[in-house]
């Protein structure tokens, strides 16, 4: 009996480790990478441009082709860094951009951060457009302190249809980027 308890414990450990490794693999494939961040300093308004790298799963491509819109949420924070006090958020701004397929007209519609709409016949061109975020504008009062800009991009699961929101264990829809930090 003691032998069977030991074997069952080993089998449980192996199964748990395989499940954890599978979840880690899925989270890496759904990661959004923010790269090539350019911050333009004008008089009162600052503008950000950046590129992204998103690996769209075949399930996500099929969902887009069926007309399910995907809304991505860009969270921008300007924080004041202090050696003594904890970081203080000066500005928090949330913007959205979206991709969806219009089935009657058979075009892919992209709505960018500024609300501009573009239509493309092929999904490859639409995805290339969505990977470039341009002209994200923000402003704050600069008191000559040490400021950092924190960027985060995530697929907004709250804007997905309810059946996709309910499927809790499906990690396909958990697309998120790490916090991208830049000096201002």
Alpha-carbon gap, residue 70 to 156, rounded angstroms: 8
Query: Mean pLDDT across the stretch 94-119?
Result: 91
Tokens 């069926």 found at: 66
Which is nearest to 147 in space by CA: 86, 83, 78, 48? 78
Range of the domain at 68: 2-183
Give pLDDT tens digits for 169-179: 667 778 888 88
Distance in angstroms (rounded) separating the CA atoms of residues 137 and 94: 11
> Residue 26 has which token pair?
């899925």
Q: How high is the pLDDT of residue 109?
A: 94
Tens of pLDDT, residue by residue over 58-84, are 888 888 888 889 999 999 998 988 777
pTM of the model: 0.76
Question: Which of 43-52, 55-64, 153-162, 163-172 has the least mean pLDDT?
Answer: 163-172
Q: Using CA of residue 59, residue 172, residue 128, residue 106, what is the dihedral sign?
A: positive
Reported as a single tens digit per residue, the pLDDT across 2-30 is 555 667 777 777 777 766 666 555 445 67
Give the chain's domain count. 1
Phi, psi torsion values for 9, nearest 5 degrees: -65, -40
Angle at 34 (CA atoms; ends 144, 184), nearest 5 degrees: 5
Residue pair 47/136 in contact (Cβ under 8 Å)? The answer is: yes
On average, the pLDDT of the chain sits at 82
No. of H helices and E strands in the chain? Answer: 4, 10
Tell me which DSSP letter residue 100 carries: E
| pLDDT at residue 104 is higher than 50 | yes
């Amino acid at each position: 009996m003691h032998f069977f308890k030991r074997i069952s414990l080993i089998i449980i450990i192996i199964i748990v480790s395989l499940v954890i490794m599978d979840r880690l693999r899925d989270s890496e494939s759904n990661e959004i990478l923010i790269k090539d961040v350019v911050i333009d300093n004008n008089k009162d308004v600052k503008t950000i441009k950046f590129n992204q790298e998103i690996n769209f799963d075949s399930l996500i491509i099929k969902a887009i082709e069926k007309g399910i819109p995907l809304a991505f949420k860009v969270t921008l924070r300007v924080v004041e860094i202090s050696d003594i006090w904890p970081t203080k958020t000066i500005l928090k701004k949330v913007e959205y951009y979206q991709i969806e397929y219009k089935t009657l007209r058979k075009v892919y519609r992209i709505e960018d951060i500024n609300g501009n709409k573009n239509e493309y016949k092929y999904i490859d061109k639409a995805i290339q457009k969505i990977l470039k975020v341009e002209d994200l504008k923000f402003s704050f009062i600069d008191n000559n302190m040490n400021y950092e800009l924190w960027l985060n991009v995530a697929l907004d699961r709250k804007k997905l249809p309810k059946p996709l929101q309910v499927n809790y264990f499906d990690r396909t829809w958990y697309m998120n980027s790490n916090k991208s930090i830049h000096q201002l």
